[in-house]
Amino acid sequence: MTDQPPRTPLLQGLAILEYFATTPRATVAEVARHFGMPMSTVYRYVRQLWQGGYLYRIDGAYSRGRKSLVESTGSDQHLVTVARPVLTSLRDATDGPALLSVRVESVLLCLDVVSPPSWGPLTFRPGQVQSLHAGASAEVLLAFAPAAVVDSVTARPLRRYTAKTPEVAQLRERLATVRRHGYAVSYGELTAGIVGVAAPVLHDRQCVCAVSSVAPQDGVGARLDQMIGQVRDAARALAEQVAVGGGRAWHREER
């Protein structure tokens, strides 16, 4: 235990929210241990903060949500507006879903999905969050994140979504490859049978977001190199749009 529990319910909730401002990810048990509070009490506060959008829940742990950040979500909406034509062009070029994702501290947040009607409903939707250790978009966002974020993500056992989900040593190798090549390719790491290709949208050497496309693994074949080129072209096109806008609206304080 490092902090005494606040005396009033309001201060208890605020203290827990403040705790997540400096702790990228924690379980209810870890929060309870930190404050010396009963787990049932902490669970009640954490659940309310999660339901209100102030925390995200990933694989049994929690991290800060968009509402708890100082910056407005208006910049995200602006980014979606600017990116939509790029995503639409990528969808038409690949005949597959095109996705826009950002990193919110130690989780991935999906901002937009443009999908062809032939794909039907997707399991990944705008507003959905996921871990940063599985899938092409996640690996791109993590590869260009600060070292402290990488350490935070890899400090815990990584959830195995499929047999292809990387373990810590594999993940660190992949991140180095992504930084070297400038894109990521994943084979069924998050959803079995799905190939993902993602590329970073960079401004002033910072990763603003990731652009990606997915396809059935058994239908990619010789098209993979073409798909990589199309995704990278889309990321460069969006980077140009971000640069025109000065880039500042989308830069977040690094953690």
Query: Which pLDDT belongs to residue 253?
Result: 47
Query: Which pLDDT belongs to residue 66?
Result: 67
Q: 208, 102 in Cβ contact below 8 A?
A: yes
- Reduced to 3 states (helix: H, G, I; strand: E, B; else coil), residue 210 is strand
Q: How far is CA 42 from CA 25, 57, 63, 65, 161, in A?
A: 15, 14, 14, 17, 28
**Ramachandran quadrant class, 235 (left: phi over 0; alpha: psi -120 to 50; beta: rest):** alpha
Query: Which pLDDT belongs to residue 182?
Result: 96
pLDDT in tens for each of the 255 residues of the chain?
A: 556 556 677 788 888 888 877 777 788 888 888 888 888 888 888 888 888 878 888 777 887 776 655 444 456 668 889 999 999 999 999 999 999 999 988 889 899 999 998 887 777 788 888 899 999 999 999 999 999 999 989 988 899 999 999 999 999 999 999 999 999 999 999 999 999 999 999 998 899 999 999 999 987 888 999 999 999 999 999 999 888 765 544 555 444
- The reply to whether CATH 3.40.50.1010 applies to domain 9-68 is no
Q: Is the pTM of this model over 0.85?
A: no
* Whole-number Å distance between alpha carbons of 216 and 95: 11
Q: What is the CA radius of gyration of the chain?
A: 19
The Cβ-side half-sphere exposure at 191, using a 13 Å CA radius, reads: 12
CATH number for the domain formed by residue range(s) 74-250: 3.30.450.40
Query: Which pLDDT belongs to residue 87?
Result: 96
Q: 253, 208 in Cβ contact below 8 A?
A: no
Q: 42, 17 in Cβ contact below 8 A?
A: no
Of 237, 238, 228, nearest to 94 by C-alpha is: 228
Query: Which pLDDT belongs to residue 255?
Result: 45
Q: How far is CA 32 from CA 15, 98, 133, 186, in A?
A: 12, 40, 26, 37
Going from N- to C-terminal start, the domains of the chain cover 9-68, 74-250
Query: Which pLDDT belongs to residue 174?
Result: 95
